[in-house]
Structure 1
Amino acid sequence: MTHPPATTRPRTILYVAATEAAASDGATALETVETGPERSIRPATTVERVRNWAPAVDCVVFAETPTTAAGSNLLEVVEACGSTPLVLFSDPSYAPPAARSTDGIDGYVRRDTDDAVVHLADEIEWVCRGDDESSGSTDDGEATNDQPVDRLLESVPEAAACDDRDRLFDLLVETASDVLDRDYCWLSTVHFGDFTPRATASGLSADDLEPVAREGPLEEALRTGEPIRIDDLAADDRLAVPLEGVTSLCCLPVGDAGVLQVAAENAGAFDERDCDRLAAWCRFVAAILERIDAEASHSTEREQLRRERDQLRTERDRLADERDELALERDRIATENERLAAQNDRFQALFANVPEPAVRYEIDDGKPIVRDVNDTFVDVFGTAPETIVDEPVDEAIVPPGLESRRTTLLESLRAGECRQLVSRRETVDGVREFLLTLVPAEAGASGRNADGGNSDGEDNPAGLIVYSDVTDANRHERELAAAHHRLETIADLVDEDVRSPLNVARGYLELAAETGDEEHFRAVEDAQEQLRELVDQLVAIARQDDVIVETEPVAIHDVARRAWVAVETGDARLVTQTTTDRVLEADKARLRELFEHVLGTVVDSAGTAAPEADDGAQDGEGERTDPATQVVTVGATDDGFYVARHNPDADRRVVDEGLETDPVPGRLAAGDGTGFELGTVERIADAHGWNVGVAEDDDRIAFAFRGVESVDET
């Protein structure tokens, strides 16, 4: 067996532990070990640091137990080490056989032994030998210089220029073999707690040598740096015979890398001078090893610094880009603020110059809030500003009749929609009709932000509500409509009713002139009497004022029941249902007159006589109608109301559920030409702006009034 020698070169080692404190303490303890050369120990805790530093160090120490949670990264550390030797410094729970069977582990030391850190230092020197089997021998032939010192000096430049550990080890062995002219020369380094052959002379193979336990004289030589010379191995049992036939042995430490051993077959083959020369050569080689390790460490540090520099440059560029983006965003916000300020100034000027009553609102947390009212609003409605300013847009701003549509109104304000609503409200001069206009600060934005999302009004934070008085305009419009209707009625009477008597009178005058018969003169007199009556009717129509001047909210069921008691209805029964009631703006007296005419016509068409109105059916709780009794139903449709007579035998559903939205059982015709005297009904409907039609068949008749606006519609 061979025992490894010792060297005196500083060695770079990476000490890996689970925590910073454990790594730092372990590195300090290993660095202060007196045996072997000086050491430069670097603590580490992460696999990334192992991967960065492994190429630049001689050895990596994994100071954790692989079977514990802390040691679960052993395989990652093995992979990160690459070709750099790895020594496992572990508890006895992880036995040496297990360590040797794990690929990538080059050395093993138990932590529970005495002087465990010293043994670790020795093991590190052994593992640095590696697995190479390079011969390290020089070419065969005679030495060019017969003096050993000259041979050493010849090798100095090559050794000084060497930057590879294995090549330096080969040169160390080759030179020592030449200097002493010995074939048996080899270098042993620490590997798995043993001194293992790392480089051999040309006349020797590593297979001829066996690893030697670290404990013993070789460990002492590595620790103290003192050589060992044995003249007769048979007489000196400190070391076992490494090779068959070998008698004497010289062992010299090479820093902390390992032990150089030279053997000879004859006894006393080495003297003090040989030991001194080889010791000097080993110290020189140890210094070169230290320089190689330092350069590798510096190279790794430079690479690390380069990567850190690149990372800092990348971070600098990223921050510069963010700075530029923030500057652009700041300029955009400043521009937007200027635009909003200019818009606000224009908006304030508009509000101040609006000649009609106006309210300025703002959207605050999704709710329209009153911020100001102009003087005209105060004068027209007699409302003190402090009672509504900074209050939500509620009953003080929402006109009467819009309560059921408040949600739609508030959504329109939040969405910035331009919209108009017609309503009536109380003023200091009485009830007036207004066209209510919503004017957002940015019309058309529809409450949506730049990316298409709903901004809950933040894109339209303000707006105006303007009241335009349309009372006189609506009244004038109704006057024109009534006058137009009267003219049409006169034209129709002249064309249909006046022309016929004139033609009759002309015909009888011609007969009277021809025959002289007095009977013909009486016919002419009758025709003239008829003409006078028609002329009086035309005069009445021309002088009649069908313009609806004042209206009020009226419930159609209430007016219908009042008209019912004033009409001869016989056995017919009136059915009204609360669910089909409608409140509309109308002249109450004229509307009652309309219902009296329509109810009378409906009942007369069935030939019935009159009981009292059935108010109990309004709530759907009265007694069920006699099947033989005609039923008159009054209800609301989508755009108006209807009056219908039904035969219960033909349609019982009408009694229980009321008439459907569009009651057209047969033909639907205008009031003219139906056979019903509906002139008054049409005039009243026209005065209100409604359309009237009649649907009739054998069992039913219905009058439908359309174009009717309820007071709760916008």
Structure 2
Amino acid sequence: MTPPPRSRPRTVIYLAEIDAAARDGAAALERVDSGPQRLVQPLTTDAVDSLGSWAAEADCVVFAETPTTAAGATLLEAVEACGSTPVILFSEATYAPSAARSTDGIDGYVRRGTDDAVAHLADEIEWVCAGERAAAATALPAADSDAESDAVETSDTDDVADTGDATGRPTAELLESLPDVAACEERDRLFERLVATAADAVGTEYGWLSTVHFGELTPRATTDAVAAEDLEPISRNGLLDEALRTGEPIRIDDLAADGCPEAPLEGMESLCCVPVADVGLLLLAAAEPAAFDDRDRDLLAAWGRVGAAVLERVETETNLRTDRDRLRQELDRAEEIRDRIAAERDELAAERDRLVAERDRARALFATVPEPAVHYEIDDGQPIVRRVNDAFTDVFDTGPAAVVDEPLDAATVPPGLEHRQATLTEALRAGQRRQLVSRRETVDGVREFRLALVPLEAAEADGATAHNPEGLIVYSDVTDANRRERELAATEARLESIAESLETDVRTPLNVARGYLELAEETGDAEHFAEVETAQERLRERVAELRAIARRDQMAIETEPVAVTDVARRAWIAVDSGDARLVTREDRVLEADKAQLRELFEYLLRAAVESVGADGDGKGSDDAAAGDAPIVTVGATDDGFAVTGHPAGTDVTPIGREMMPVPGRLTAADGTGFGLGPVERIADAHGWDVGVATDEGATFAFRGIDPVDVSRD
């Protein structure tokens, strides 16, 4: 007997530890001929985390590992992930059915290791899933089989014309019960009606219907004369399993005969068994031998097919209701998602409009910014100049055509920041607000600027800040402000020097004079007045020095165009330079007090020689080869000049004249240990900024110095 086709294939997930085992097991299960068509999806146990999404769309999950082994340790996780989808344990015999039955979430059990284990697994799947059933015959058959034996009768009859005794009583009872059976909406109610009607039709009190569960035939419905506790689950081995697999009924006239199964109820001697599709068996028993004949067997076989047809309809309707409910839930979720997406779309549209308005407002203000400014955009990770305002063009004498739509490189990055190009680019990409200080050439000479990096917009996206890939770089001229700060710092330093001198150099002569006056008053000795006069003279000298310090910012500085390297060479003569050599580079002509500039160079050259540890009493010549002697270099920088000491062995001989490089990090001159107080005072008097960098030698850099146009009349 071949079951009717299902409306859709049975979908099964086959779960094993190894991918190859999962694929082989799935393929073997799909090849089983009995039951409906199956689509089996192999998965490995390490994919338990994603099992839930697969199981929701499947009819059943087969866990093909033994729970007591390492491979089966994920059983409980798999059961939890499956939710309402039934799980069948396909286990080695070491994990007994009783253990499987006591495990929460296991709906079926099949033992591996037998020749027909996969066929049993297919049967168990159909029982658990309430799957396809064979179509019921629409007419009750008549017996026409002559095959019988002393103990067991089987039948291959599918179509018979009539059955029952002379009065047709069994057939009539089955026909009368047919509407009630066909109207059943639940499996358990259907099983009860099938058993009760079949028992009444053949005239026995002992009947029950068993279904396959955990590899055994377990009673699901009984007649009133059979107590459920009197029935034990029956093994599927032997004749009963053959009947379930082949779909053919069997009649056992003598349960005590050899080869017959053990009597399921005490005192029973004969048994008639018919399959209800591949779900289970309908069994009728009697206390006397040969209580059932061929007509009973065939009649019950037809009744089993009726039950299978009704069960098919019940389960189809149940599946349809389940599918309908699932579709409704999915539709509700889809509508919720659609509404949420629509709301998010409206929010994004509003945000887009706000950003466009903000961008347009910013662009309108850009042209009116009084300070030089650059509008940039991040294009493929690279900052690109999109616009510059009129102030940028006027101050830096750079036309828009030279920089617009070009990368933000040396054309717009001020000198002094080239070494920080990568830092600047990363800050622009990240939309960070930063401030950088640098000097650069303008139409009015070298000026100091504070660069402000201003992203145009920042917004929240998924809990993180996502910057708008465009912004401004604004150049604020801080030259005058910095110069005032330096002047103020110089004034404060002079006041501090005055205070220190008053504390030490003035108070001491006053105390000496007071002491000798007291001695003269006590002794009358005129010699003490001479000491008082000496102390007063010393006091007058210190007061004059203090007056000079206090008026240093107003001192008469007679400036004239001076060449830096020329003054350096003259100062070198007065310095104990040991074996060090002097090398001059690109010269610079500046406005300075020549005498004070020479004094400044004497201090600087002495400190540079000291920084490289020169010794001996030799004098190096200008631009001499370095050799093994320390070298002191003097030359112009882009906005001033610098003096640097180089240890012996350093190759600093220039190939032609060139600007001196200035270290990127300079510190204040005070606290360096070189005694540069006079240097700072002279620099402050001229309005210069001085910084020190120490590495292998020392570099003294002077900035904020305007060059002199020596070509003027």
Larger-Rg structure: 1
Higher relative contact order (CA 8 A, sep 6+): 1
